[in-house]
Structure 1
Amino acid sequence: MKLLSYTHQGREGWGALDAGGQGVVDLGRRLPHIAGVRQLLEGDAPAMSQAREAWAGATADHALCDVQLDLPVRQPPRIFCIGVNYAHRNAEYKDGSELPRYPSIFMRVPDSFSAHGEPLLRPAESQQLDYEGEIGIVIGQGGRRIPRETALAHIGGFTCINEGTIRDWVHHAKFNVTQGKNWFRSGAIGPWLVTPDEYPAGLGHLRVRTRVNGETRQDDTTEHLMFDFAYLVHYLSTFAPLLPGDVIATGTPIGAGIRFDPPRFLQPGDVVEVEVTGVGVLRNVIEAEAQ
């Protein structure tokens, strides 16, 4: 299923994309004891079975074009972001460093992300809004010290992420990137959460592509990840109990705007699309933030 959170005529709801991909099945109405996508994930296999049964063969309650999509999981508990996870990106730094032994990690807050179709905001304080297309993991079954061998079973689904960054603010301090990574609505998550059963042949090599105004800027597959999905779930759960609804942004390929000469930062009116295998396309337009 493609699970989503949405607003329709001022009312918040949750559900799933219908089989045709153009309608929304209101699972909240059919399963009133489950408050949202996060609560569905918390219910684990029994709740997911109820959702699939309610979804199967159901007629859409709303046209997709008539709803405003929200983040797939509203207010995710934590958003873990992995830096420099594609081997090509390590080389992109041209600093002669060897491949890392452990992943680089930073955190983001939920309101630093817009939903699919909402604008990304370039703040008045900077002209350096950049894009970073990524594959997002959403945790289903939580846990602590999860073995790598069973880690994939803890994934509740996949989504698209634009891990937008204000580049000059990333370099304000020596040992952190927090302030450049948490500007209000500088990134995006969506359009929905795709459950693992949508990949019947296994995950294989998932592809992530980023386009700006139709021009492909980033294009790579998980074949080149230094730390794969199972390892990330295992590693993060070693120091922090993972919770249903936690999001992991798994890293961006080469081709971000900062790496061009001269840099190609996002301008108001630009359209950014992030496409992930089996998920679809996350699309946002850049706007200048009102002061």
Structure 2
Amino acid sequence: MRFATYTANEQTFYGAVTDEGMIALNDAFPQWTTLYDAVAANGLVQLTEAAEGQAVTHVDFVYEMVMPNAPRILCVGVNFPDRNAEYKDGSAQPKYMSLFPRFASGFTGHGRNLVRPPENHTLDYEGEVAIVIGKQGRRISQEDAYDHIAALTLCNEGTIRDWVRHAKFNVTQGKNWDHSGAIGPWLVPFTEAKQLDDARIVTRVNGEVRQDDTLNRMMFPIRREIEYISTFMTLEPGDIIVTGTPTGAGARFDPPKYLKPGDVVEIEVEGIGTLRNGIEDEVV
């Protein structure tokens, strides 16, 4: 079962995704206003049961960012060996992972355009798997880490590259332009370790493969990410962790291959799906 947030008839719904369309579930769970509320209440099993055998309610709809009111999105940077080498600074694998926050306003949904701002045209793509926490925890061991995951989704962690260089120690400015990235299309409930351990992520731009790697090559595996992050903060249901992108982002080509209007970016992971977005210039 897959769950998404979407707009139809100028209203926002959450529900189950089928090959024929959406099954709206809002009315069945008035206590959960949004999909985030359902995840925070550990309600994905109840959503699954409620959707079984139900008729499609919407065939004409637009995807939204999968949890547009998610209050906490934490991203892991430079998490593949080849990505570390891309920086050409001679550094060895770091002892600790790089982390930075992103805000929900910086993301849009599947099938929508990423927005390139007029201030700078170095919009870049980063294909990543994102995990959604389903169980509260602090100082979580790696052995228990997967028990705290509720669902998986995909992220295009779009970045304005020039703006990550505006300050010495942070990348927040370049990572949070409105609608510069996407998360979706949907949530896939996490049920077994191989959904992550065997996952391969592929990013294509206009059909050309730009990124292709497996999550088992991460310098900081997802179990370690959960362990490390939960050391300094209590992970809460509904938190999103964007787990890291492979080598091959546009900034690392010579010359760089930044995104422009008309481009189409696809991020695919078998068992999760494909996140697809076009590019447009912001109208000001």
If the length of structure 2 is used for normalisation, what is the TM-score? 0.96
* Cross-structure match for 1:154: 148
Say which SS state the counterpart of residue 136 (structure 1) adopts: strand
Q: For the Cα contact (< 8 Å) 2:76–2:244, is it kept in 1?
A: yes
- Alpha-carbon distance between aligned partners in 2 of 1:152 and 1:22, rounded to the nearest angstrom: 32
Within the alignment, does 1:40 sit opposite 2:38 as a pair? yes
- Alpha-carbon distance between aligned partners in 1 of 2:159 and 2:15, rounded to the nearest angstrom: 30
* Cross-structure match for 2:247: 254
Residue type at the aligned position of 1:17:
V
Say which SS state the counterpart of residue 213 (structure 2) adopts: strand
Within the alignment, does 1:121 sit opposite 2:115 as a pair? yes
Within the alignment, does 1:50 sit opposite 2:49 as a pair? no
- Alpha-carbon distance between aligned partners in 2 of 1:229 and 1:206, rounded to the nearest angstrom: 12
* Cross-structure match for 1:96: 90
Over aligned residue pairs, what C-alpha RMSD do you find? 1.5
- Alpha-carbon distance between aligned partners in 2 of 1:11 and 1:290, rounded to the nearest angstrom: 24
Within the alignment, does 1:71 sit opposite 2:69 as a pair? no
Structure 2: segments with no counterpart, 5+ residues: none
- Alpha-carbon distance between aligned partners in 1 of 2:45 and 2:153, rounded to the nearest angstrom: 21
Shift of 1:50: 2.1
* Cross-structure match for 2:223: 230
> For this pair of structures, how many residues does the alignment match?
284
- Alpha-carbon distance between aligned partners in 2 of 1:255 and 1:148, rounded to the nearest angstrom: 29
* Cross-structure match for 1:61: 57
Q: For the Cα contact (< 8 Å) 1:77–1:243, is it kept in 2?
A: no
| 1:31-73 CA-partner distances (Å, limit 9, x unpaired) | 33322221211222xx33322211222222122xx11111111
Structure 2 CA distance for partners of 1:127 and 1:50, relative to 1, 3 Å: closer
Q: For the Cα contact (< 8 Å) 1:159–1:276, is it kept in 2?
A: no
Residue type at the aligned position of 2:257:
R
Within the alignment, does 1:220 sit opposite 2:201 as a pair? no
Residue type at the aligned position of 2:2:
K
Say which SS state the counterpart of residue 149 (structure 1) adopts: coil
Residue type at the aligned position of 1:220:
D
Shift of 1:74: 2.1
- Alpha-carbon distance between aligned partners in 2 of 1:178 and 1:160, rounded to the nearest angstrom: 20
* Cross-structure match for 1:22: 20
Q: For the Cα contact (< 8 Å) 1:113–1:188, is it kept in 2?
A: yes
* Cross-structure match for 1:109: 103
Which moves more between the two structures, 48-57 or 157-166? 48-57
- Alpha-carbon distance between aligned partners in 1 of 2:263 and 2:165, rounded to the nearest angstrom: 24
* Cross-structure match for 1:207: 200
| 1:83-110 CA-partner distances (Å, limit 9, x unpaired) | 0001121122222211111110011111
Structure 1: segments with no counterpart, 5+ residues: none
- Alpha-carbon distance between aligned partners in 2 of 1:51 and 1:172, rounded to the nearest angstrom: 44
| 1:171-220 CA-partner distances (Å, limit 9, x unpaired) | 111111111111111111110011013x5855332111111111111111
Aligned pairs (5 A) from 1:160-171: 160-171=154-165
Within the alignment, does 1:239 sit opposite 2:232 as a pair? yes
Structure 2 CA distance for partners of 1:24 and 1:240, relative to 1, 3 Å: same
- Alpha-carbon distance between aligned partners in 1 of 2:228 and 2:193, rounded to the nearest angstrom: 26
Residue type at the aligned position of 1:240:
M
Residue type at the aligned position of 1:59:
A
Which moves more between the two structures, 32-41 or 269-278? 32-41
* Cross-structure match for 1:189: 183
Identity within the alignment, %: 51
Q: For the Cα contact (< 8 Å) 2:195–2:271, is it kept in 1?
A: no
Residue type at the aligned position of 2:40:
E
* Cross-structure match for 2:169: 175
- Alpha-carbon distance between aligned partners in 2 of 1:109 and 1:201, rounded to the nearest angstrom: 29
Q: For the Cα contact (< 8 Å) 1:222–1:228, is it kept in 2?
A: yes
Shift of 1:226: 0.9
Shift of 1:243: 1.7
* Cross-structure match for 1:8: 8
Shift of 1:15: 0.8
- Alpha-carbon distance between aligned partners in 2 of 1:115 and 1:27, rounded to the nearest angstrom: 19
Structure 2 CA distance for partners of 1:183 and 1:6, relative to 1, 3 Å: same
- Alpha-carbon distance between aligned partners in 2 of 1:59 and 1:145, rounded to the nearest angstrom: 43
